[in-house]
Structure 1
Amino acid sequence: MFSQRIATLRPSPIREILSVIDRPGMVSFAGGLPAPEMLPPLTLSAAPTSLQYGPSEGDPELRAVVSEQLRALGIDAPTERVMILSGSQQGIDLVAKLFVDPGTPVAVESPTYLAALQVFRLYGADFTDLSWSAAPAAPLAYVVPTFANPTGRCATDHERDTLARACLDTGTTLFEDDPYRELAYGPCDRAPVTARMRGGSWVYQGSFSKTFAPGLRLGFLAASEDLFSRLVMLKQAVDLHSSTLSQQLVRSALTDPSWSSRLDGLASFYRKRRDAFDAALRRHLGGLAEWETPAGGLFFWLHLTRPVDTRALLATAIDRGVAFMPGEEFFPDNPELGTMRLNFSHADAEDAERGLRVLAQLLRETADAPAPPVTCIMQRTVQGERSRSWGDP
């Protein structure tokens, strides 16, 4: 009765975890949520046109602003090849629909953004490793080169040049996902890989969720001339167009003279929060885990000194008022045990201190205890937690 692809569909781990973090006192290191105090105050004064249908490609004025910003980065992105998305997740879905049939190879890093893996799996992709020093063995390569999710890694200028050349030589379409580039706290080569893809096939996408407001659900993409019109037709079949009201709000923010100051303020705020989180990690998880301080983005990527499956720890952590993302979920195949992703942007210093103390205690308790079955723990976490009161012991 259902389509064949539904048989392989799995719930998004991050969405399931986020659905249970409203318990009073819960500290969440799970999602990439902006700090509440950095969300903009919105005063709604909507023009009648903002309540009307709009073009599938998006508001022409907003597209022109995005085009100007992308061309300043060296990307061949005239206004007519810029599209506004209903969140950058939609861009991943559109590209997957365009390229992926059951069995289509897709080159990805390991680990990589778990929501992208979910979409590619839905359409039947076969994953192959993406190397920064060799040609991708796939018609499509997906990469987050700047402050990667989950690792926070920033590819070097040489690696970006090498990947662009490899894609050009093999005819591989490069799909560059770049939502964190404005959240830079230290030196990093951030020039887009697609800026080096003259004559090749490519898609570049970004998001307004990290720099403005995730609840507006807006992102954008630009694409090479051979791909753009097909992506527009796919969007027409999905949602006709993104919210015109959200587009007006974003356009007003981007064209306001204070936008550059807002970006500087975001980077300064999150740099301080990153540094405080790093210091708290050293106090509580020193000797229990290893990590590199990220030069940007929103996440720390931890390698535990003991290779436990962190999926088996999640339900207990939630019971104790802390949520995190098991690192195993970010691997396309053969997950590496003993990894976890911790978001540092959402919790304030006091909550971060308390949450990391709980995680450290949990890791010490499990050091000598046998791990419970992962399947049972994950099933309880994503299904049972929503059916019981958070007030229960």
Structure 2
Amino acid sequence: MFSHRVAALRPSPIREILGLVDRPGMVSFAGGLPATDTLPHPRVDLDPTTLQYGPSEGDPALRAVVSENLRGLGIDAPPERVLILSGSQQGIDLVAKLFVDPGTPVAVENPTYLAALQTFRFHGAAFTDLDWTDTPAAPLTYVVPTFANPTGRCATTAERDALARACTDGGVTLFEDDPYRELAYGPCDRTPIAARMRGGSWIYQGSFSKTFAPGLRLGFLAASDDLFPRLVMLKQAVDLHSSSLSQKIVLDAITAGTWPGRLTDLAAFYRRRRDTFDAALHRHFDGHATWSPPDGGLFFWLRLDRPVDTRTLLPEAITRNVAFMPGEEFYAGEPRLGTLRLNFSHADADATERGLRTLADLLTEQ
């Protein structure tokens, strides 16, 4: 009755957990939710054409602004090779449709972004571990090099240079996912890997969800000449084009003179939340886990001192009004037990203190 792909389809654990965020008293460290205080209050002067169908590639004015920014980063991304997405998750789906048949190898970091693993698995990918110093043993490499989800790690200059060379020389397509690069709190080489490639096949994507408003569901990608036309055709088959209204709201925001200041203020706001979270971790998790404060992004990655499968702790944590993401979900293969991802951007200081104390108490009981 259903396609063979659907047989292994499972609900997203993070989406199920996010359904609990609005429960009274719930403290959520689960999803990568921006702080509600940082969300904008846009006022849109609507022209009726904004509510009309638009080009599949996206609004030309928005594509031009995105192109200008990407070229400023060193990426070969003229406006005609910029595609506006209905969220960066759509970009992952389009790339999977373009490259992945059952059994197709895909090289990934381990651990890596859960939703990317789910999408590639749905299309039948066979995962291989990414070695930053060697040519990936796969036709497609997916990487989040800047403040990675879930670990918060930032790839070094040497690693970025090496992967760019390996993909170019080895005929491997690079798929670089970069939604957190503007949320930097410490020194890190954030120059995209795609900017280091001279020739070869590549896709670079970003998002407005972390810097502006996730509910607008708007992202973007740029790609090399050989890939871009096919990605556009795939998008045409999915949703014709991304929301014209969302594109108008984002365009007005990023072309306003206040946008650079917003990015600066946003990074400062999240740096304070990171530091508050780190201090609370030391109060409650010293003796339970080790971690490194991330230089950017939205997550702490904890390694517990004991190999506990944190998936077994989640149901009890939820009954105590705390949600988190078990780290085991982020592994392409056999998971490392005793890991968890904690989001620090959404909860305020009081909620952070209460939630981490509850988690620590639960670990002590276990």
Task: Give the TM-score range, shorter chain.
Answer: over 0.9
Q: Where does structure 1 lack aligned partners over 5 or more consecutive residues?
A: 367-393
Segment drifting more, 296-305 vs 35-44: 35-44
- Letter of the 1:292 counterpart: S
The aligned residue for residue 332 of structure 1 is: 332
Give the structure 2 partner of residue 69 of structure 1: 69
Tell me which residue corresponds to 1:270: 270
- Hey, what's the Cα distance between the residues in 1 that align with 2:277 and 2:143? 27
Aligned ranges 1:23-172 → 2 under 5 Å: 23-172=23-172
Secondary structure of 2:313's aligned partner? helix
SS in 2 for 1:136: coil
Q: Does 1:209 align with 2:203?
A: no
**3-state SS of the aligned residue for 2:227?**
helix
2:175 is aligned with 1:187: no
CA distance in 2, matches of 1:338, 1:106: 26
In the other structure, the counterpart of 1:300 is 300
The answer for the alignment partner of 2:255 in structure 1 is 255
Q: What is the deviation of 1:20?
A: 2.1
In the alignment, the residues of structure 2 paired with residue 160 and residue 44 of structure 1 have an alpha-carbon distance, to the nearest angstrom, of 40
Question: Which letter maps to 1:65?
Answer: V
**SS class of match (1:222):** strand
Paired AA for residue 52 in structure 1: Q
Q: Which amino acid aligns with 2:149?
A: N
- SS of residue matched to 1:226: coil
Tell me how far 1:23 sits from its aligned partner. 1.4
Q: Please give the alpha-carbon distance, in whole angstroms, between the structure 2 residues aligned to 1:22 and 1:345.
A: 16
Native 8 Å contact 2:20 2:26 kept in 1:
no
Deviation at 1:198, TM superposition (A): 1.4
- Which one-letter code corresponds to 1:160 in the other structure? R
Q: Distance in 1 between matches of 2:168 and 2:98?
A: 19
Tell whether 2:307 aligns with 1:315: no
* Residues 344-368 of structure 1: per-residue CA shift (max 9 Å, x gap): 00000000000000000000000xx
**Partner Cα distance (2:292, 2:169) in 1:** 33
In the TM superposition, what is the alpha-carbon distance from 1:46 to its structure 2 partner?
1.4
**CA deviation after TM superposition for structure 1 residue 9, in Å:** 1.0
Name the counterpart of 1:379: none
How far residue 44 of structure 1 moved from its aligned partner, in angstroms, is 3.1
Distance 1:224 1:45 in 2: 35
Q: CA deviation at 1:45?
A: 2.3
TM-score (norm 1): 0.93
AA paired with 2:174?
A: L
SS across alignment from 1:83: strand
Q: C-alpha separation between the residues in 2 aligned to 1:131 and 1:37? A: 39
Partner of 2:23, secondary structure, is: coil
How many Å apart are 1:10 and its aligned residue? 1.3
Q: What is the aligned partner in structure 2 of residue 365 from structure 1? A: 365
Gaps of 5+ in 2: none
Report the counterpart of residue 199 of structure 2 in structure 1. 199
For residue 302 of structure 1, report the CA deviation from its aligned partner: 0.2
1:301-333 deviation digits (Å, cap 9, x = unpaired): 000001100000000000000000000000001
CA positional deviation for 1:134: 1.0
Contact 2:87–2:219 (8 Å) recurs in 1: yes
TM superposition shift of 1:67: 0.1
Q: Is the 8 A contact 2:157 2:189 kept in 1?
A: yes
Confirm or deny that 1:350 pairs with 2:345.
Answer: no
**What letter is aligned with 1:142?**
Y
Task: Return the letter of the residue paired with 2:32.
Answer: G
Inter-partner Cα distance in structure 2 for 1:205 and 1:13: 24
Percent sequence identity is: 76
Counterparts of 1:104 and 1:222 in 2: how far apart (Å)? 23
Aligned to 1:375: none
Q: Deviations over 1:37-72 (max 9, x none)?
A: 000112232111110000000000000000000000
User: Number of aligned pairs?
Assistant: 366
Q: RMSD across aligned C-alpha pairs, in angstroms?
A: 0.5
Partner of 1:282: 282
By how many angstroms is 1:22 displaced?
A: 2.0
How far apart are 1:197 and its partner, in Å? 1.3
